Amino acid sequence: MDYLQGLNPQQRGAVEQTKGPVMIIAGAGSGKTRVITYRVAHLIRSGVDAFNILVLTFTNKAAKEMRNRITDVVGLEAKNIWMGTFHSVFAKILRVEAEKLGYPSNFTIYDTDDSKSVLKAVLKELNLDDKLYNPNFVYNRISAAKNNLVAWQEYQQNDQIQADDFQSGRGQIGKVYEMYVQRCYRAGAMDFDDLLFKTNELLKLYPDVLYKYQNKFKYLMVDEYQDTNFSQYLIVKKLASINENICVVGDDAQSIYAFRGANIQNILNFEKDYPDLHVFKLEQNYRSTQNIVNVANSIISNNKEQLKKNVFSEKDHGDKIKVNRAFSDNEEGKTVAESIMQERTTSGLKWNDFAILYRTNAQSRSMEEALRKLNIPYKIYGGLSFYQRKEIKDLIAYFRLTFNPNDEEALKRVINYPRRGIGDTTVDRVILSAGQNNITLWEVILEPAKYLDGRSAGSVGVFSTLIQSFQVITKTLSAYDAALHIAQHSGLLKDLYEDKSVEGLNRYENIQELLNGIKEFSEREDIEERGLDIFMQDVALLTNDDNDKNPNADTVSLMTIHSSKGLEFPQVYVVGLEENLFPSQMSLNSRSDLEEERRLFYVAVTRAEYKLNISYATSRFKFGTLINCEPSRFLDEIDPQYLELDFKAKQKNDNPFFNDERTAWSRNSNNGNNDTFSKPKPPAAVKTTSLLAKAHVPSAGFAPSDTNNLQVGMEVEHERFGFGKVINLEGKKPDVKATIFFKEIGQKQLLLKFAKLRIV
């Protein structure tokens, strides 16, 4: 059992408790993922067949890493474990069972773009205004319904849902949902949510199928359980219901996908579903220094809704958390890049040891620019996927159509690309005729003479013959030869080759890269089926990170906080700590949204092992306009004893963009969002006496650090804590800390730079 040495007693307890339901809800960095990894290895070492183990992870990358670690302990047997994301695992199962649900086994997986394109077509057909029925909005509404297992029939009959839709002036969403489902079905396509929705349907309608998988997956494990939605919860519950060997791990404080339907209730349900549940507590954080853990604890203590946990670190205190203020987003990028350069030189770290985390993808621009200037190699994770690029989608659309000619989105995409004289009018006629005859677009173009007039019939006839020829060759050729044949004979390769612009060259190279990937795939020896159809199955589920050709390259990592979940880096830079950016403007309307943002901040800081840097800019370009920004309220919430201000940037007065009056103005004119400031609760430590403080309605005109002349004895008003008196000032500008006795909540120490304070 020497392989269990690297576990503490609680972790080991959870690993060795292989029978029955097990739940671990514990703080960040406490070894939850490690427990799952060791548990799987332990199961296999104890004689469990790897084929009987199912592990559900949050990303494909996480699954890959876990499998590698397990391989170190149990060898190649690890290959046989079922391991992956919910979507990839259940897509695989659906391929086997699809025909029971009336789908072809080579059904297409529609990505978000495909889904929205279907929705747009439906909206057009129903004559609905796509400003009111914004396709994103409708997509999210349908997605939420599916993830709560509300089928379109139920959606249309549910009084509450109908009332909501009517109230928002969008009473037709139920109808759109119905037609959307029918379109997807007719096209032999499932969208992302269908992969879970249809799995539930399958397990419900076919008890024999359920029984088969219950027996197959004798041991189930789920990582990041806090971010599962109802649909996922139910699949897991059903699969586990015979053996009940189910182990889930997660952290309620890291639940950051409620906006996509993740339901924290799943943790509470779990306790109800399994009364004889074994619960294990992990409290020691092995990832981060004490300072980082303390900062994380002090952030999350501001949330009302949380399961109380005690997280501690036995590592060194480590450096204080550096906070940097820049006067623009570009300067912020420059400071981060210079800091990375310097840290790497002085501490002998690799580029790999650094990560830059941001709230929104758009923030990567200023970071990238700054890194490029210093020649620092970097990699952006989770950005636009390789498979989302136009030219890649075009070629893949030909593949999709070859294997599933009913795939209407693929058909519409390439019927006239490269141009072959099939204009929009002809395409409209094909669509119309399909609608009138209640058949698919493909059926129309297969027999053009029957459904279309002479001229249109000729050109689409050539196209359908071309696709049919692809269907024939894919039966005999290897994946690579077939793909190359299609790239050539569709005319796509030639079209890109003839475009001699830099972009054209780039696109051509991307196609080459895709073909290389397919070549590698067709030469793989570890799988039996290597046809192009097999390669295609998971493509829609791949992300940029899965396609990473060089995962071990020494580069700085850039990613959104959402995609950093579960990862760790020695040094982390969290950038853009500004009001309306982080917390995002969208989150300011309700406490629950704001708390989700705070959990996101908690996730961000807990990625850091040794050094954590936080920064904000006082001005930033947004949609082409320069706007003033003010520091995030989250900074204000951190206990200042763990912070070190690193304002080597301009002094306030030198800076044209940092002007108290203007900042105050910008907050007061902030779309009426000010009301949220009357709501937040004071820190947990003062909970019992804080009732009045919560109700404090701030006067107008707050600005951070409007306190140049502050002296001991002065009366002040804090935006949230109310009125108080300054009892001590210490430290040099700009790091002055004030100790203030607030009437309602008692004594508190604040960093003046962040404190939203006014002299009264």
Catalytic residue list = 32-33, 223-224, 254, 607
Min CB(554)–Mg ion separation in Å: 24
Q: Is 30 annotated as a binding residue?
A: yes
- Closer of 26 and 740 to ligand ATP (Cβ): 26
Would you call 736 helix, strand, or coil by DSSP? coil
Is residue 32 annotated as involved in ligand binding?
yes
**Residue 31 touches which of Mg ion, ligand ATP, none (Cβ within 5-8 Å per kind):** ligand ATP
Q: CB nearer to Mg ion: give 319 or 568.
A: 568
H-type alpha helices, 301-384: 329-347, 364-373
Query: What are 697-703's contacts with CB under 8 Å, separation 24+?
Result: 698/756, 699/758, 700/668, 701/664, 701/668, 701/758, 702/664, 702/667, 702/756, 702/757, 702/758, 703/630, 703/660, 703/661, 703/663, 703/664, 703/667, 703/756, 703/758
The verdict on whether residue 33 carries a ligand-binding annotation is: yes
Look up residue 297 and give its two tokens. Answer: 């604890």
Work out which of 21, 29, 261, 333 binds ligand ATP, going by CB under 6 A: 29
Using rule CB under 6 A, residue 30 touches ligand ATP: yes
Cβ 26 to ligand ATP, closest distance in Å? 6
What is the nearest approach in angstroms of ligand ATP to the Cβ of residue 354? 17
- Nearer to ligand ATP among residue 7 and residue 716 (C-beta): 7
Q: Give contact residues for Mg ion (rule: CB under 5 A).
A: 32-33, 566
Query: Is beta strand 278-280 parallel, antiparallel or unpaired with respect to 22-25?
Result: parallel
With CB under 5 to 8 Å by kind, the binding choice for 29 among Mg ion, ligand ATP, none is ligand ATP
Stretch that binds ligand ATP, among 23-31, 234-242, 423-431, 624-632 (CB under 6 A): 23-31
Tell me the two tokens of residue 379: 């990699």
Residue type, 409: E
Nearest-angstrom CA–CA distance, 336 and 574 = 10
Contact between 7 and ligand ATP (CB under 6 A)?
yes
Q: How far is the CB of 336 from ligand ATP (least distance, A)?
A: 22
Beta strands 619-622; 625-628: pairing state: antiparallel
In this structure, are residues 725 and 740 in contact, taking their beta carbons and an 8 Å threshold?
yes
User: Judged by CB under 6 A, does residue 566 bind ligand ATP?
Assistant: yes
Tell me: is residue 91 an annotated ligand-binding position: no
Residue 624 annotated as lining a ligand binding site: no
Residue 652 binding target from ligand ATP, Mg ion, none, CB below 5 to 8 Å by type:
none
Tokens at residue 454, please? 């002479």
* Region 281-320 residues binding ligand ATP, contact defined as CB under 6 A: 286-287
CA angle at 45 for the pair 40 and 47, rounded to the nearest 5°: 100
Give the number of residues in contact with ligand ATP, rule: CB under 6 A: 18
Nearest to 177 by CA among 126, 239, 230: 126
Sign of the alpha-carbon torsion through 63, 64, 66, 72: positive
Binding partner at 11 among ligand ATP, Mg ion, none, C-beta below 5 to 8 Å by kind: ligand ATP
| β-bridge partners, 177 | none
Distances (CA, A) of 206 to 198, 210, 241, 673: 12, 6, 15, 51
CB 149 within 8 A of CB 230: yes
Binding string to ligand ATP for residues 587 to 626, with x set by CB under 6 A, is what? -------------------x--------------------
Nearest to ligand ATP of 562, 667 (CB atom):
562
Query: Which residue matches tokens 């003839």?
Result: 498
Least separation in angstroms between residue 143's CB and ligand ATP is 25
Q: How far apart are CA 624 and CA 700, in angstroms?
A: 29
DSSP 75-139: GGGGGGSEEEEHHHHHHHHHHHHGGGGT--TT-EEE-HHHHHHHHHHHHHHTT--TTTT-HHHHH
Q: What HEC string does 613-678 produce?
A: EEEEECEEEECCEEEECCECHHHHHCCHHHEEECCCCCCHHHCCCCCHHHHHHHHHCCCCHHHHHH
Q: In the numeric block, which tokens belong to residue 315?
A: 């590592």
The answer to whether the annotation marks 163 as part of a ligand binding site is no
* Using rule CB under 6 A, residue 522 touches ligand ATP: no
Q: Are 378 and 333 in contact (CB under 8 A)?
A: no
Q: Does 42 bind ligand ATP (CB under 6 A)?
A: no
Nearest approach, Cβ of 284 to ligand ATP (angstroms)? 8
Taking the complex as a whole, how short is the minimal distance between the CB of residue 286 and ligand ATP, in angstroms? 3
32 binds ligand ATP (CB under 6 A): yes
| Pick 33 or 705: Cβ nearer Mg ion | 33
* Residue 660 interacting partner from ligand ATP, Mg ion, none (CB closer than 5 to 8 Å by kind): none
Residue 266 interacting entry, from ligand ATP, Mg ion, none, C-beta within 5 to 8 Å by type? none
H-helix or E-strand spanning residue 12: helix 9-16
> Shortest gap between Cβ of 262 and ligand ATP (angstroms)?
15
33 interacts with ligand ATP by CB under 6 A: yes
What is the phi-psi region of residue 47: left when phi exceeds 0, alpha when psi lies from -120 to 50, beta otherwise? left
- Choose the stretch contacting ligand ATP; rule: CB under 6 A; options: 26-34, 114-122, 592-600, 745-753: 26-34
Q: Which does 30 bind (CB under 5 to 8 A by kind): ligand ATP, Mg ion, none?
A: ligand ATP
577 binds ligand ATP (CB under 6 A): no
- Residue ranges at the known binding site: 26-33
Q: Which residues would be at the binding site for ligand ATP (CB under 6 A)? A: 6-8, 11, 28-34, 251, 254, 286-287, 566, 568, 606
- Residue ranges at the known binding site for ATP: 26-33
